[in-house]
Amino acid sequence: MQITINPELYLRTIELEDANAAFALTDGSRAYLREWLPWLDFTKVVADTTSYIEGCIKGHEAKSSLTLVIIFRNEIVGIAGFNTINHSNKIAAIGYWLSEGTQGHGIMTKTVQALLQYAFEDLQLNKVEIRAAEGNEKSRAIPERLGFTKEGTIRAAEWLYDHYVDHIAYGILASEWKEK
C-alpha cells in the first residue's frame, strides 16, 4: 500500500527489505529518539528491526495495525501508522517518529493528515487517537495543530528507561475532521 502526499513525500507499508535502512535510521538517531521512545535499548542490531517488521506485517495481515515508512526525497526518514485499529469500535491510535535531521519540513503534520484521511475515508473509522508524553512538545504539537481535542492525562502511562511519564490523550472524530 502507498499513500502519496506530494512529489517528495509518500508513505508505504513497511517491508522486510526495509530492515537495514530502518535500523540505520534508528541507530543514527538513537540519542535523539531515546528521550521519548522506550524501545531504543531493545533495538541493538538489524535482527531486532527485522523482528519488529515481522510483527508489523502480522498486524497488517490481521488488520489490527498498519505500519508505514515515511519516504522523503527517496529516503526513509521515519515511521508512522496505526499502532492499533479497533474495527469493532471504529477507533485507531496513531504513532509516529521522525529522524532528527528531517524535522522542520512539515513532514509529520502532512503524514498525520494523510493517515486521518485514510482512517476516515478508506477505513470508515469514527475516531483517531494520539497519545504523547506530556513533556514531548514536538509530538504533542501535531494533534494540536490538526484540531484534535485534548481528552485528558493518563498518569504514569509509560515507563521510559528509569521513570514514568504521563501521556496526554488526544482524539478527533470523523465528523470533526470532515468539518475542517
pTM (predicted TM-score): 0.94
Rounded to an integer, the average pLDDT of 124-142 is 97
Query: Would you state the pLDDT for residue 139?
Result: 95
20 in any annotated domain: yes
Rounded to an integer, the average pLDDT of 49-64 is 97
Query: Would you state the pLDDT for residue 144?
Result: 97
Please report which confidence band the pLDDT of residue 41 belongs to, taking 50, 70 and 90 as the band edges. confident
Is residue 155's pLDDT more than 80? yes
What is the average pLDDT value for the chain, to the nearest integer?
95
Taking residue 145's Cβ as centre, other Cβ atoms within 10 Å add up to 13
What torsion, rounded to 10 degrees, do the Cα atoms 10, 53, 95, 153 define?
A: 180
Domain of 27 in residue numbering reads as 2-130
Domain of 6, CATH number, reads 3.40.630.30
Cβ partners under 8 Å of residue 116, min gap 6:
128, 146, 172, 177
93 in any annotated domain: yes
146 vs 180: CA distance, rounded Å: 9
